[in-house]
Structure 1
């Protein structure tokens, strides 16, 4: 599963670099999310390869690899929140643009906030894990870390070796519960934020559908795909990390129930290491659906009147830009103008 995750995340990274879209506002958080999934998959793959082999200083390597892995999966939580937040802002901006212009300062502010959030998503996990690196290595918490499957488990209990001083055992136990607390807190906060953004996005989408205005078929395709991504990425996020969270909670509440631990460990191995693969699959599927919707819009335009056929040519000119950045102009086409009467209602008059 770690190998599949590495293949999936690296495929998206290669696609973004090849298409030169990694710096676009939408792709940037997803690009860093895939990069974090790639590094996390590599860490898990190395741990799996180390398991069952005799390597010098294997305990130290396994302990520090797991600490590095914790940095990457906390970063993946934050990058997922960043991406869902961007999709929500995209829907909100499209809703506000329907019938009015958006100020450039608002767009610049959103871009700056997104860049700061990406930097913090990498910096915060690193700062949180500094005590695990420093105190854990100084107190030699890595003793016996490669035994009893501890090298391939996300959270391994502290070493209870008799030769360790009692003070060191206490420090290792504290760091163990500290790591679990950081994991659960970051996951629950990320999940709560994603759920709130999901509810807000669904509300915006319903308002968008009910709101009258002139939008082309391909523009609606963009809005529909953004709405789908707002729903599917949280589902992939929960499917990947839900079993791991349940396993950690059960370990804390029922530490002696080994049958449930083993079942959840197997399920966690299948899900937690597959985030890179699932994220790549969600993006590929929505891109394919977007292509289908655009093709359907083109076929529908072939059966329209000459005036609507001219609309088809108008949207075709902006198709390349729409494909690269999933952006569009929501203002009416130049061959239409909307007249607002004094009483409620509107009418559309051709030039």
Structure 2
């Protein structure tokens, strides 16, 4: 699963680089999310390969790899929230544009907020995990860390070693609960934020559907794909990290059902390491649907009468196209080009 996650996240990164769209406002948060998934997959793959070897200082390497992985857990949570927030802002911006033009200052403000959010998504996890690196290595919490599958588990109880002073054992136990608390807190806050954005986006999309204004068919395709991504990315996020969160809660409550504990361990291995693969699948599928909708819109445009086609060319030459800085890499045509009524069977008329 770690290998598939590496392949999926690498595919998204390669697509963004080869298309030279990694700096676009829509792709940037997804690019950093994929990069975080890639590094997390590499960490998991390294731990799995290291587990079957007898390398020197294996305990130290396993402990620090786990701490690095925790940084990428939290980063992936924050980058997911950042991407969902951008999709919601994109939907809201297009809703505002359907009624009136958007001020450039508002667009610039949104871009600056997105850039700050990306920086904080990288900085906050690193600051949160500094105690695990510093205190954990000083207190030698890495003893026996590669034993009993601890190298390949997300969170493992601290080892109880007779050679360690009781003070060091206490520090290691505190760091263990600190790591679980940080993981659960960031996940629950991220999930709550995503749910709020999802509800707001659904409400906004319903306003689009009930709107009396008329939008072009390709513009409707863009809006529909944004709405789909707002729904599908939270589903992928919950499927990836749901079993791991339940398992962490069980470790804190110390239940007696060991069969359920083993089932959740297997599910965690299958889901937590698949985020890069699922994100790649969601983006690829929605891109495929977007191109399908665009092709359908172009086929509908081919059925126009010669008079309407000539009028469309006249309006296209006579007016300057205004492209939104928050548009997709495959940006839709301007709002003034083609306008289609919502009811099926209606004619396409120029604005």
Q: State the Cα deviation string for residues 241-275 of structure 1 (Å, max 9, x = none).
A: 00000011111113443222211111000000000
Query: C-alpha distance in 2, partners of 1:318/1:54?
Result: 73
Q: State the Cα deviation string for residues 215-266 of structure 1 (Å, max 9, x = none).
A: 1110100000000000000000000000000011111113443222211111
- Using a 3 Å threshold, how does the CA distance of structure 1 residues 319 and 59 change in structure 2: closer, same or farther? farther
Query: C-alpha distance in 1, partners of 2:175/2:298?
Result: 59
- Using a 3 Å threshold, how does the CA distance of structure 1 residues 249 and 313 change in structure 2: closer, same or farther? farther
Query: C-alpha distance in 2, partners of 1:31/1:339?
Result: 33
- Using a 3 Å threshold, how does the CA distance of structure 1 residues 86 and 310 change in structure 2: closer, same or farther? farther
1:304 CA displacement = 2.1
- SS of 1:325's partner is coil
- SS of 1:320's partner is coil
Verify the 8 A CA contact 1:6 1:41 in the aligned structure 2. yes
1:214 CA displacement = 2.5
- SS of 2:118's partner is helix
Q: Which residue of 1 aligns with 2:333?
A: 333
- Using a 3 Å threshold, how does the CA distance of structure 1 residues 265 and 199 change in structure 2: closer, same or farther? same
Query: C-alpha distance in 1, partners of 2:342/2:152?
Result: 70
Q: State the Cα deviation string for residues 322-347 of structure 1 (Å, max 9, x = none).
A: 99988289999999799999999999
After TM superposition, the structure 1 stretch with the greater mean CA deviation from structure 2, 326-335 or 206-215, is: 326-335
Query: C-alpha distance in 2, partners of 1:22/1:2?
Result: 24
- Using a 3 Å threshold, how does the CA distance of structure 1 residues 137 and 350 change in structure 2: closer, same or farther? closer
After TM superposition, the structure 1 stretch with the greater mean CA deviation from structure 2, 21-30 or 319-328, is: 319-328
- Using a 3 Å threshold, how does the CA distance of structure 1 residues 338 and 59 change in structure 2: closer, same or farther? closer
Q: Which residue of 2 aligns with 1:258?
A: 258
Query: C-alpha distance in 2, partners of 1:278/1:118?
Result: 21
Verify the 8 A CA contact 2:339 2:349 in the aligned structure 1. yes
Verify the 8 A CA contact 2:24 2:329 in the aligned structure 1. no
1:208 CA displacement = 1.1
Query: C-alpha distance in 1, partners of 2:318/2:273?
Result: 39
Query: C-alpha distance in 2, partners of 1:262/1:227?
Result: 37
Verify the 8 A CA contact 1:36 1:75 in the aligned structure 2. yes
Verify the 8 A CA contact 1:214 1:332 in the aligned structure 2. no
Verify the 8 A CA contact 2:216 2:337 in the aligned structure 1. no
- Using a 3 Å threshold, how does the CA distance of structure 1 residues 128 and 332 change in structure 2: closer, same or farther? closer
1:99 CA displacement = 2.4
- SS of 2:331's partner is coil
After TM superposition, the structure 1 stretch with the greater mean CA deviation from structure 2, 88-97 or 177-186, is: 88-97
Q: CA RMSD in A?
A: 4.6
- SS of 1:295's partner is helix
TM score, norm. by length of structure 1 = 0.90
- Give ranges in structure 1 of 5+ residues lacking alignment: none
Q: State the Cα deviation string for residues 283-322 of structure 1 (Å, max 9, x = none).
A: 0000000000011111111222234435776999999999
Query: C-alpha distance in 2, partners of 1:296/1:212?
Result: 23
- Using a 3 Å threshold, how does the CA distance of structure 1 residues 115 and 335 change in structure 2: closer, same or farther? closer
- Using a 3 Å threshold, how does the CA distance of structure 1 residues 265 and 202 change in structure 2: closer, same or farther? same
Q: State the Cα deviation string for residues 185-239 of structure 1 (Å, max 9, x = none).
A: 0000000000000000000000011112231110100000000000000000000
Query: C-alpha distance in 1, partners of 2:303/2:178?
Result: 64
- Using a 3 Å threshold, how does the CA distance of structure 1 residues 318 and 61 change in structure 2: closer, same or farther? farther
Verify the 8 A CA contact 1:222 1:326 in the aligned structure 2. no
Matches within 5 A, 1:227-266: 227-266=227-266
Q: State the Cα deviation string for residues 76-113 of structure 1 (Å, max 9, x = none).
A: 00000000000000111111111211000000000000
